[in-house]
Amino acid sequence: MTTTTPKRQIHIFDTTLRDGEQAPGASMSPEQKIVIARQLARLGVDIIEPGFAISSPGEFQAIQQISRELQGTEICGFARCVPIDIDAAVQATQDAARRRLHLFISSSQIHLDFQLRKTQDQVIEMVRSMVAYGKRFVNELEFSPMDASRATEEFLFRVVETAIEEGATIINLPDTMGYALPEEFGPMFTRVRNGVRGGDKVVYSTHCHNDLGLAVANSLAAIRHGVTQVEVSVNGVGERAGNCSLEELVMAIQTRGESMGVTTNIATDQIYETSRMVSRAMHFPIAYNKPIVGRNAFQHESGIHQDGLLKNRNTYEIMDPEAMGIPRSMIILGKHSGRHAIKHRVSEFGIQLGDDEMEDLYNRFKAKADEQKIITDDVLMQLVGESTDSIVQ
Ligand code: KIV
Ligand code: ZN
């Protein structure tokens, strides 16, 4: 009898509506946030961080409504280590069926010196008192030492140990500045788990920014080191170069997760719709070459690729776009296209060309494609008409 090892579940924590919305120019109305939160629930994310309750009355109301409505999804309130933030986050998420509180404070020396202007001992005291305060209201408390990847190991251990002592149940280690390399970031989780008192009793999470384009790679490295929650945003929106992209991480797990023994709860057929909705609401266009959801992600122009694709999709596609709700894989006709692709497209219009007609069309097509980037179906049909006419004469 063969036994299969059960896959480790990676919980997807979506911060599109909190960190994602912190991207310059991305802010949305409370109504838009509620509509996106509903779509995130359809997408199957495990936890939604709907905003920063203290930041404005509209933000507070949006979080409150999302907490009331989305009873099937865990909701996360977000707060600095100060009572006024904690009170607002706790009140806004009061009606959630399942909720957690997420507290954060800086942990790197540069942040302590210039952003917080506090000593290490003062920070430890704030962690001790504010985690204890937050625990009065919730069972699940997530704690993030901000800029963990640039903190000294000694201070990071102290901060995390203090949070665990006071009742933190989830430790989220962020690469706040997108500075880490995968080979150093992943092992940090193992060292914290083994080096901190109580480190083996908590759940580990990661939160990566994309300043060096490494957010997905760093998140995967953290997963390899035992992390079971990954914080992501739709289209990778967020501060500066953004957060770890939800769709890229989920599809990396879906496509290659077998070798890592992990899986997610995401309904991948909702990915495209969610991506479009967030792009529209934030007025953020999606780069043509963005993995998974970009316009060109499943379009093929080169003749060699088109030929291979027409013989077997797997030659040049490692994922099925339809499984992500993307209308269909498209062959784009242009100057790199070959005879096979042109003939195939023409045949889709029910037209069968003889060898001479096809050769004539091919030559006209190449001349036209030098003039314009893409040969649309209308232009193609015009060329077909000219070719058949010239052969008949
Ligand atoms: O980037 C970051 O460090 C954060 C934390 C507050 C989780 O967004
Ligand atoms: Zn962040």
Q: What is the pLDDT of residue 274?
A: 98
Tell me: the pLDDT tens digits for 153-186?
A: 999 999 999 999 999 999 999 999 999 999 999 9
Residue stretches of the chain with pLDDT short of 50: none
Percent over 90 (pLDDT), the chain: 89
Question: Torsion angle of alpha carbons 260, 265, 268, 272, nearest 10°?
Answer: -110
User: Taking the model in full, what pTM does it have?
Assistant: 0.92
Closest ligand 1 atom to Cα of 19: 8
Decide: 328 and 335 in contact? Cβ < 8 Å. no
Residue 56 DSSP symbol: -
Cβ(104) – ligand 1 distance below 6 Å: yes
Any idea what the Cα angle at residue 278 is, between residues 72 and 90, rounded to 5°? 45
Distance CA(257)–CA(308), nearest Å, equals 26
At residue 1, the pLDDT reads: 62
d(CA 339, CA 346): 11
Q: Give the DSSP letter of residue 333.
A: P
Atom 8 in ligand 1: residue holding the nearest Cα: 19
For ligand 1, whether the C-beta of 229 sits within 6 Å is no
Question: Which of 81, 146, 211, when mutated, tests ligand 1's pocket best, judged by the most ligand atoms within 8 Å of its CB?
Answer: 146
Residue bearing the CA closest to ligand 1, atom 1? 176
pLDDT of residue 48: 98
ipTM of the complex: 0.99
Alpha-helix runs per DSSP H in 225-354: 246-260, 271-282, 303-311, 339-348
pLDDT score for 320: 94
Question: Measured from the CA of 18, which atom of ligand 1 is nearest?
Answer: 8
Task: Look at residue 3 in the predicted model and tell me its pLDDT.
Answer: 67
Report d(CA 146, CA 129) in Å as an integer: 17
pLDDT at 2: 61
Nearest Cα to Cα of residue 77 among 69, 61, 88: 88
How far, in Å, CA of 150 to CA of 148, rounded?
A: 5
Q: How far is ligand 2, taken at its centre, from the CA of residue 312, in Å? A: 41
Q: Does residue 145 line the site of ligand 1, with CB under 6 A?
A: no
The residue whose C-alpha atom lies closest to atom 2 belonging to ligand 1 is: 176
Q: Give the integer Cα–Cα distance in Å for 199 and 84.
A: 29
